[in-house]
Amino acid sequence: MTASPLLYLQSGGPTAVLNASAQGVIEAARRLDLPLYAARDGLAGLVKGELVDTTRATDAEIARLSTLPGASFGVSRHMLPTWEEAPQEWLALRDVLERHDIHHLLINGGNGSIGCAARFVEFEQHTGYPLRVIGIPKTIDNDLVGTDFSPGFPSAARFLATQMREVAVDMASMAQRRIFIMETMGRHTGWLAASTAAAAQYAGDAPQLILLPEATFDAERFLRKVRQSLDEHGHCAIAVAEGLEGADGRPLAEFRPDATYGHEQLGGVGTWLAGLVKRELGMTSHVAQVDCLQRAARHLASAVDLRLAHQAGSTAVEWAVNGKQGVMTAFARRATDTPSWEVEPVPLASIGDRERRMPAEFIDADNLWVTPAYLDYLRPLLAGPAAVPWDKDGLPDCRAIDWVSI
Amino acid sequence: MTASPLLYLQSGGPTAVLNASAQGVIEAARRLDLPLYAARDGLAGLVKGELVDTTRATDAEIARLSTLPGASFGVSRHMLPTWEEAPQEWLALRDVLERHDIHHLLINGGNGSIGCAARFVEFEQHTGYPLRVIGIPKTIDNDLVGTDFSPGFPSAARFLATQMREVAVDMASMAQRRIFIMETMGRHTGWLAASTAAAAQYAGDAPQLILLPEATFDAERFLRKVRQSLDEHGHCAIAVAEGLEGADGRPLAEFRPDATYGHEQLGGVGTWLAGLVKRELGMTSHVAQVDCLQRAARHLASAVDLRLAHQAGSTAVEWAVNGKQGVMTAFARRATDTPSWEVEPVPLASIGDRERRMPAEFIDADNLWVTPAYLDYLRPLLAGPAAVPWDKDGLPDCRAIDWVSI
C-alpha cells in the first residue's frame, strides 16, 4: 500500500505558517520516496477531484514553500456532511480516491476541518474502501483542543505583539493624551487579543487594557481603567477581540437594529468602543483594525511556529505510513527551563468541532488583562525571527508556486 | 559661537526613522565636539524651556537610537504664531535660548513644523538675538515640497506594500470571492495609498484599485472595476487614502449629519466603501484600518530611508556650524541606473505650510491606479531590509532612552 500516493490538503483560513506544514509533508514524503498528491482548494477540490502532483515540483520550489503566506494549494470553507446525511457525497469521494489509488489522507486545518477529518475514520466501514486519515493542526485562533497550541497562532501573536509595542512607543512620544484601540481577530476566543500583552516590557506598559470574549464586558469598569491609564501614562492602549460580548452574551458589534435606528452598523467592536469613549469621555480614539494582516504577516513569523508547523507535517506522513489512524499531530509541552514540544497523537474525534477558550487562570481578576501564567505560556511560542526572502525592491518575494495538475 | 550648544527638536507625528535623523544630528555634533541639547515634546517643550543634554547619553544609547520607533525626545502639535501675532511668545523663546547660550536651532518636522522653522529666520531681526535655523524633513505623508521625498515616507510605504503583498497571497488562496480594503493614512495626499502598488509583482496583481484624494471618486467606475476584478481574479484588493474625496471636493468619510440621520459616522473611508459595496454588489468586504501601525513599524523600515534620514540630520549640523541659515536639508535625486540622493539646501520659506500632492503624471488615466512613472519613483526608496534588535522574546527591543534634563 505504501507505493500508492498520499493525499494532502489545506482547509479553512490560511496562516503565516500553513505552507511550512505543507513543506514538512512534502519533504517527508520525498525522504520516504512516497508519491504525494494535494487537493486544490481543500475539501472543495477533493470532492471535485481537482488534484496536483507534488512530485513534479522542484526541490528549490519546495525549499521556498515555507516562505510563502497563504495556502499554496488553496483553501475553502467547504465542509463534509456525516455519512447519514449524504452517503452519495462520500461515495463520490470514494470514486476520487479509488481512481488515484489513494489510501492515506492528511488534512491540515482548524476545528471545522478536523471535524471533517474525524468523519473519514469510518470511511472504510461505510464504503468498503481502506483509508487512513491524519489531522495536522492549524489556526491563528489557537482554539483547537488537545494540543498545547495550534501552528499559525504564535506567528499571528508575534505580529500583534510587535505592532502593539511599536505603536506604544509612538504613542508615548506624543505630548497630547491619546487612546489607541487595536481590534484583533477572535470571534469566540481571546488568545490573539491576549497575545498583545507580550508587548509590555515593564508593568503598566501598553496595552493597558485587553478585552476578551471570555470575560464579560463591563463598560463602567472599562471607562474607569481608561481614565486611570490616561492619568498615569498620558495614553491608553486597548487590545480587543472582535467577538467581545456584552452582559447578554451577544457580541457587542453585531448588527443590532434597535441600537442603530434601522441602519446597519458598519465597522467592528474597535469602532464601537471608540464611540463609547467619545460619548462618555469626550475623547476621540485611534482605531486599528488589523483584519487579515495578522494571519498573512509571514515577514513576522515566529521561528518556533515555523519549525513546529513543519514538524507537524512531517510527523503526519510518518504516522500515516506507520499505520496510525484517526489522530492529529498535537503538541505536548515539556515543562523545562527552556520549553520544548513533542508531537503526540490525539484522536480526531476528541478534537473536531469543539472550541478551546482561554481558561480562567489566564485572565486577570479584573477581566481587563492577562495573568503572568498566560505570559509564561505565550512567550516561548514567539521566539523568532525567521528568515524572509526579500526581493530586489525590498519586499518579501511571494511568487506563487505553479503546481502541476494530475 | 561654536562652543555654544546646538538645539535640536522633533515636531509633529513620529515616523519609523525620525530617531535616525536624531542619531545623525547627535553623532555629527559628537564628531565636531559640539555640545547638543534637545527640547522635550518639540516646540511645546522649547517654549517652556524643557531641555535635555544629549552629551550625557552614552555612545551605546546613541547607537541604538535609530532602532526605536516614535520620537525619542517627544513631539507635540504645538505651532508658533508669527511675530506680529504674538511678539511676547517670541521674546519668551529668546529668554530660553539666551539662558542656555543657544544660537543654532535644528527643527525636524513636516509642513507645519517647517513653517514654524521659517519664522525663526527673522528671529535676530525682531529680537536682536543671533540665531541660525536649519530644517530637517520628516513626514510619512511625503507632502513636503522642495525635496524628492521626506524621510519616514519610504518606511511607511514599505510597510504598506509588504502587508498588501502578503494579504494578496492570503486572498488568492481562498476559493470564495473576496474583497479586501486597506485604508491608509493621507488626509490630502495619496502617496501612502499609492505605495501599495509596489506590492504587485505582475500586471493585474493586488491591489487592483488604488483610490487617491488627488483623483475624484466616481462610484460607478469604482464598482465596475471591482466587478471586473472579481470576475478576472476571484478577488479584489483596494487601497484607499483616508482623505478620499467625492465630487463635491469633501472627504467621503467626514461627519455628515444629513447622511447619517443625526448620528456621528464612526469608522473611516474603508468602512464607508465597504458599505457602498454591500449595498451595490451585495458582498461583504474585509477592511483593514492600518492607522498608526504604518508610521510606527520600525521593524519594516527601509534601509535607504534610515540611511538618508541619518544623513539629513548630520548634514543639518554641518550646515548650521558652517553658517547656513534658513534652509532645509532637502533631497535631490540623481537620475542614474541606481538612483542616489544628494542633500541640498532649500529655503524654509519656500517649503513650510505648503503641500505636495501627487502630480497628474503619477496617476493612471482611469484615476484608479498609478502610472509606471510613480513606480519608478517609489521602488528605489523601499530598498531594505534594516536590522532590528530582537529581544529574547522575539519582539523588537524598544526600551526608551532616559534623556537627562538640564
> Which top CATH class is B6-152+298-355?
alpha beta
What's the rounded Cα separation, in Å, for the pair A406 and A192?
39
pLDDT at B47 over 70: yes
Note the pLDDT tens digit of each residue in B222-267. Answer: 999 999 999 999 999 999 999 999 888 888 886 544 443 334 445 6
Query: In percent, how much of chain B has pLDDT > 90?
Result: 89
Where do the CATH 3.40.50.460 domains begin and end in chain A?
A: 153-296
What does DSSP say about strands A235-241 and A327-334: parallel, antiparallel, or unpaired?
unpaired
Contacts of B271 in chain A (CB under 8 A): 266-267, 271
Query: In percent, how much of chain B has pLDDT > 70?
Result: 96
Asked if A298 and B165 come within 8 Å (Cβ–Cβ), the reply is no
> Which top CATH class is A153-296?
alpha beta
Residues of chain A with pLDDT under 50: 1-2, 256-265
Contacts of A289 in chain B (CB under 8 A): 287-289
ipTM: 0.96
What is the rounded average pLDDT of the residues B64-76?
98
CB A261 within 8 A of CB A254: no
Binding residues of B for diphosphate: 13
Binding residues of B for Mg(2+): 111
Note the pLDDT tens digit of each residue in B337-367. Answer: 788 999 999 999 999 889 999 999 999 999 9
Residue with cell 511625503: B142
Residues in chain B, how many?
406
Burial of B101 (0-12, 13-18, 19+ CB in 10 A): exposed
CA distance A323 to chain B (A): 31
Contacts of B278 in chain A (CB under 8 A): 264
What's the pLDDT at A353?
A: 84
Identify whether B95 is a catalytic site residue: no
Q: Which of B141, B143, B148, B305 is catalytic?
A: B141
Phi, psi of A192 (to 5 degrees): -70, -50
A242 a known binding residue? yes
Contacts of A201 in chain B (CB under 8 A): 398-399
Which residue among A170, A173, A394 sits closest to B385, beta carbon to beta carbon?
Answer: A394
Report CA-CA distances (Å) from A342 to A32, A330, B7. Answer: 21, 8, 57
Going across the sheet that includes A235-241, the strands are A209-211, A235-241, A178-184, A286-289, B286-289, B178-184, B235-241, B209-211
What is the rounded average pLDDT of the residues B290-297?
96
CA distance B323 to chain A (A): 31
What's the pLDDT at B257?
A: 41
What's the pLDDT at A248?
A: 87
- Pick the range with the lowest mean pLDDT from A357-366, B16-25, B71-80, B336-345: B336-345
Asked if A286 and B290 come within 8 Å (Cβ–Cβ), the reply is no
Note the pLDDT tens digit of each residue in B151-199. Answer: 999 999 999 999 999 999 999 999 999 999 999 999 999 999 999 999 9
What's the pLDDT at B202?
A: 87
The catalytic site residues of A sit at 141
What's the rounded Cα separation, in Å, for the pair B360 and B215?
9
Q: List, as ranges, residues 320-379 from B with C-beta within 8 Å of A.
A: 379
Pick the CATH number of B161-292 from 3.40.50.720, 3.90.470.10, 3.20.20.70, 3.40.50.460: 3.40.50.460
Phi-psi region of A87 (alpha: psi -120 to 50; beta: other; left: phi over 0): alpha
Contacts of B266 in chain A (CB under 8 A): 267, 271-272, 274-275
What's the pLDDT at B258?
A: 40
Closest listed residue to residue B352, CA positions, set B40, B73, B96, B143: B143
A64 a known binding residue? no
What's the pLDDT at A263?
A: 42
Per the model's pLDDT, the better-predicted residue between A384 and B98 turns out to be B98
CA distance B322 to chain A (A): 31
Query: Measured in whole angstroms, how far is the alpha carbon of residue A194 from the centre of its chain?
Result: 14
3-state SS of chain A: helix, strand, coil percent to 5?
A: 40, 20, 45
Phi-psi region of A205 (alpha: psi -120 to 50; beta: other; left: phi over 0): beta
Q: What angle do CA A281, A244, A163 make, to 5 degrees?
A: 75
Q: List, as ranges, residues 129-148 from B with C-beta within 8 Å of A.
A: none
Strands (E), B244-356: 286-289, 327-334, 340-347
Closest listed residue to residue A320, CA positions, set A76, A24, A13: A24
What's the pLDDT at B234?
A: 95
What is the rounded average pLDDT of the residues B217-224?
96
Where do the CATH 3.40.50.460 domains begin and end in chain B?
A: 161-292
CB B178 within 8 A of CB B235: yes
What's the rounded Cα separation, in Å, for the pair B104 and B135?
11
Q: Does B398 touch chain A (CB under 8 A)?
A: yes
What's the pLDDT at A261?
A: 39
> Which top CATH class is A6-144+301-355?
alpha beta
What's the pLDDT at B266?
A: 52
Where do the CATH 3.40.50.450 domains begin and end in chain B?
A: 6-152+298-355
A185 a known binding residue? yes
